[in-house]
Structure 1
Amino acid sequence: MSVLINVENLGKAFRTYPNATQRIRSWLGLPTRNVKDIWVLKNLNFQVHAGEAVGLVGENGAGKSTLLKMIAGTLAPTEGGIQLFGEVRAILELGMGFNGEFTGRENARHGLSMMGMSAEEADSLLPEVEAFAEVGDYFDRPLRTYSSGMQMRVTFAVATARRPQVLIVDEALAVGDAYFQHKSFEKIREMQRAGTTLLIVSHDRGAIQRICDRVILLEHGEISREGDPEVIMDYYNAMLANKGNQKHTVHSEELEDGRVATTSGTGEATIQSVTLHDANSGDPIEIATVGQEVELKVKLDINEHIDQLVVGYVIKDRLRQDVFGTNTHLLDQVLENPKPGQTQCYRFRFTCNLGEGSYSTSVAAHADDTHVRHNYHWKDLACTFEVVNANKKRFLGVAWIPPELIIEPNSGDTP
């Protein structure tokens, strides 16, 4: 598979000056004093291959947008280099390169010409851009009258009017409404299927896992991990919990089936076991049938004093996308001031309204309504099970929601 983006020993530093005089001396090539270089990216090495979709994740300030700007050519690196082997199109900032006094149509025409199109070709694509952007009469009004979402619509429509070899998308898509976000990602998927290489920054875990083949995690301007989207996103999610707490640890472990499970937490409470049972007989099971009454049993130990204990779980499909989740805070059953040395057992009983396939559960013990502030113990792939359809009519999807069908007789009225 050919390489389209090659990043070697890449670094970026922004220089700071103690005062304006030192800045001017630097411009004139004169000696300066007390000048500091703040490195936001350091020692980056990776490749992106033709047809591949790569996600970039990391906290704010990790250097994601700076990296994309250098790859797109709008920012020069301080050290190292980037080799590009194909046409690169970037959606980095809202309305980048657009003029607020020009109409959407005029900006679109200018944007298409800046992509190397002739005037005739640009004019021929304008109806397609207008139709995709769906801003109505605003397409012929000045861009300064647009909302941020409308600017995003036009920006995206222009950038994707002609399929590029490489498409770079920053978090800018997040400003759009839910409808346009869905429409945009469908367009990205369509280009991906046609062979476009993708480099995407997003905090949307579902989008990253649906689109990307590989994910790169940036920490403090360096690549800390890269690999399978599910594994990296599990690790990233665990890393964000209890950030700054020195007791908080994150571990990744390869299971017997080759999958990688992430565990994290501060250890005041630890999950001892997670098992799935038939709700009627109490027997442990590894295979459930559609519609079966089941029970998820969670045992955990209280190791230190804590003010409150919340236990929750998330059922995930084979792509490790969330299907359903809840916790004892949402169920109004928070345990206050549990005593150290206790072993608590939680039995979550529910109907297995799931479609056929492989599922896993992530289980967490924490305080508050989520695990982010006080994560005692989080465990991915804590329990895995299969669902089979033994006695229900055939259906599609991951949820069993049988309808009641009513067909009304034809009354003869014309609709």
Structure 2
Amino acid sequence: MEILVVSNVGKAYKRYARKWSRVREWLTDKPNHEKNWVLRDLNFSVNRGESVGILGVNGAGKSTLLKIITGTTQPTTGSVTIHGRVAALLELGMGFHPDFTGRQNIFIAGQLLGLRSDEIAANMNNIEAFAEIGDYIDRPVRTYSSGMQMRLAFSVATAVRPDVLIVDEALSVGDAYFQAKCFQRIAYFKEQGMTLLLVSHSPGDVVKHCERAILLKDGRIEQDGSSRSVTNVYLDELFGRKKDIGTQSSVVAEDSAQKLVSGGNLDVFHTRPGYHKQEHRWGHGGAVILDYIFSSNGEDYSSRLESNSVTDFYFKVRFESDFDSVVPGFLIKTLEGIFLYGTNSFVSTGEEESISVSAGEIKIFQFSLPLSLNEGHYMVSFGISSGLPLQELTPLDRRYDALMINIGRPQKFWGIVDLKASFHCHESKSEAFVA
């Protein structure tokens, strides 16, 4: 069942060329402005119980869209239909009066969210307990830190389960403990059928908490699909995408790392065992990742890698320009797109020594690590960037989700990563009771 329908929504703001243009428009009753469209032709629907992430670079129109959905801003064109009660965390402290106490603001903000006074009073103790701000509940909100405001705002917004919860980056100001607490409550409400709209600049958060994502670009919907695929496209928007690098003729797969080192300079990446043809490739150019090999227990391209076994990942790069410093990188994700582990040459070695390259040069990079993961399939990504490790890096060629590996494990555990816990049972030193 659809709980939210956005139909042909557009939003434009008036832009005046001169400071007196607005006055002239009032006096003459003739338009004297240009329209600056921040949203155009948005059409999508969200089903009850669905979790949808909203992504986009700054200025894409994310916050404007959420304000239209919540009714704090009216669309210039189109309409929004919502079936149910909406709770929103759009701006930190929105609905709070700085000179009123936290307790007074609970009633004000709660009523803005559509709650009755008796509902707010009945939930006051639960709101206080969840926010955990102590005596500050009876102090003016202007004395609160940003984290304390977020704690109180989230506690009020979720005091009674809403039909739709909208969160716009508000949780990013909270500490890790309270963020985890908030997402636990969100997960509980989702099980009860709550719909979630989450705006975040963290692709990992969107993948983890949302099954679906919508990418906005220049006020329009660029992509609407699974959160894993949409977050990959979002990374393009952040770093810029390179034109597709053409592959060359297929060659027979080589069997050893030594042959990889001594091989040619053709792009044979796509011919290797484990290659994932839905890889996401992007970068600014200047380098091409040509080939890879992974090896464990003396076997190359093994169809099953044993959990906790050390595996060597090699990838070959041909450089098309000179660079004073390049940084190779490595990343493992779940099939759902959750980032499990990422590193680069600097993080793995702790050495700031630059890797310089010349145009036409080919280098082989190797990352070796124990795959301490639960049984299942995982995605591996390779990347090469230019720049200094502790400064901004420029992606040259990145091949996201480029190969799929299968981890086997005789005894499963709960979760994804093996943290290698130990266990001991200690006997009591006290004397036995004698009747």
TM-score, with length taken from structure 2: 0.85
In the alignment, structure 1 residue 360 sits paired with structure 2 residue 379? yes
1:381 aligns with 2:401: yes
Alignment partner, residue 91 of structure 1 = 89
Q: Deviations over 1:215-251 (max 9, x none)?
A: 111111111111111111112113312x4xxx83479
**Residue 225 of structure 1 pairs with residue 223 of structure 2:** yes
Does 1:401 find its partner at 2:419?
Answer: yes
Cα separation, 1, equivalents of 2:412 and 2:117: 54
CA distance in structure 1 between the partners assigned to 2:430 and 2:131 by the alignment: 41
Seq. identity, %: 36
Is the partner of 2:136 in helix, strand or coil? helix
- Kindly indicate whether residue 299 of structure 2 is the aligned counterpart of residue 301 of structure 1: no
Whether the aligned pair in 2 keeps the contact of 1:250 and 1:265 (CA below 8 Å) is: no
- The count of corresponding residues between Structure 1 and Structure 2 is 402
SS at match of 2:123: helix
Q: Alpha-carbon deviation of 1:70?
A: 0.5
Superposition deviation, residue 314 in structure 1: 0.6
How far apart are the structure 2 equivalents of 1:347 and 1:75? 53
**One of 324, 334, 338 as aligned partner of 1:317:** 334
Matches within 5 A, 1:32-71: 32-33=31-32, 35-71=33-69
Q: Aligned pair in 2 of structure 1 residues 308, 17: CA closer, same or farther (>3 Å)?
A: same
Counterpart position of 2:10: 11
Equivalent-residue separation in structure 2 for 1:171 and 1:266 (angstroms) = 29
- Matched with 1:283 is 300
Given the superposition, is the C-alpha separation of residues 104 and 27 from structure 1 closer, same or farther in structure 2, using an over 3 Å criterion?
farther
State yes or no: 1:410 paired with 2:409.
Answer: no
Per-residue CA deviations over 1:248-292 (Å, capped at 9, x if unaligned) read: 3479xxx999973210012211111222112x5253313111222
Does structure 2 retain, via aligned residues, the 8 Å contact 1:9–1:81? yes
Provide closer, same or farther for how the CA distance between residues 355 and 59 of structure 1 changes in structure 2, counting only shifts above 3 A. Answer: same
Long gaps (5+) in structure 1 = none
Alpha-carbon shift at residue 17 of structure 1 (Å): 2.1
Q: Which residue of 1 aligns with 2:256?
A: none
Instruction: Report what 2:78 is aligned to.
Output: 80
TM-superposed deviation, 1:306:
2.2
Distance in 2 separating the partners of 1:25 and 1:84: 39
Structure 2 unaligned residues grouped into runs of 5+: 246-269
**Cα pair 2:98 2:140 within 8 Å, conserved:** yes
Secondary structure of the structure 1 residue equivalent to 2:323: coil
Call closer, same or farther: CA 1:179–1:29 in 2, change over 3 Å: farther
Partner SS, residue 327 of structure 2:
strand
Residues in 2 aligned to 1:115 and 1:320: alpha-carbon distance in whole angstroms: 34
CA deviation digits over 1:367-403, x for unaligned, max 9?
233896411100012221111114xx55333223334
Letter of the 1:7 counterpart: V
- Once the two structures are superposed, the pairs formed by residues 86-125 of structure 1 within 5 Å of their partners are 86-125=84-123
What letter corresponds to residue 415 of structure 2 in structure 1? G
Match of 1:260, SS?
Answer: coil
Q: What secondary structure is seen at the aligned counterpart in 1 of 2:156?
A: helix
SS at match of 2:3: strand
Q: Give the whole-Å Cα distance in 2 for the aligned partners of 1:355 and 1:80.
A: 48
Residue 118 and residue 80 in structure 1: after superposition, are their counterparts in 2 closer, same or farther (change >3 A)?
Answer: closer
3-state DSSP of counterpart to 1:76: coil
Give the structure 1 partner of residue 200 of structure 2: 202
Question: What secondary structure, in the 3-state scheme, does the structure 1 residue paired with 2:186 have?
Answer: helix
Match for 2:283: what amino acid? G
1: CA distance, partners of 2:204 / 2:181: 15
CA distance in 2: counterparts of 1:406 and 1:173, whole angstroms: 38
Instruction: Determine helix, strand or coil for the equivalent of 2:109.
Output: helix
DSSP 3-state at the match of 1:71? helix
From the superposition, tell whether residues 80 and 147 of structure 1 become closer, same or farther in structure 2 (CA, over 3 Å). Answer: same
Tell me the TM-score normalised to structure 1 length: 0.89
1:263 paired residue number: 281
For the residues of structure 2 that align with 1:173 and 1:114, how far apart are their CA atoms?
20
Q: Do the aligned residues in 1 keep the contact of 2:204 with 2:337 (CA within 8 Å)?
A: no
* Matches of 2:89 and 2:64, distance apart in 1: 13
Distance 1:178 1:343, change over 3 A: same
Alignment correspondent of 2:242 = 248
Amino acid of the residue matched to residue 140 of structure 1?
D
Q: CA deviation at 1:322?
A: 1.6
How far apart are 1:47 and its partner, in Å?
1.0
Distance (whole Å) between structure 1 residues aligned to residue 56 and residue 329 of structure 2: 25
| Worse-superposed segment, 326-335 or 120-129 | 326-335
| Residue 19 (structure 1) shift | 4.0
| Structure 2 equivalent of residue 164 of structure 1 | 162
Amino acid at match of 2:344: N
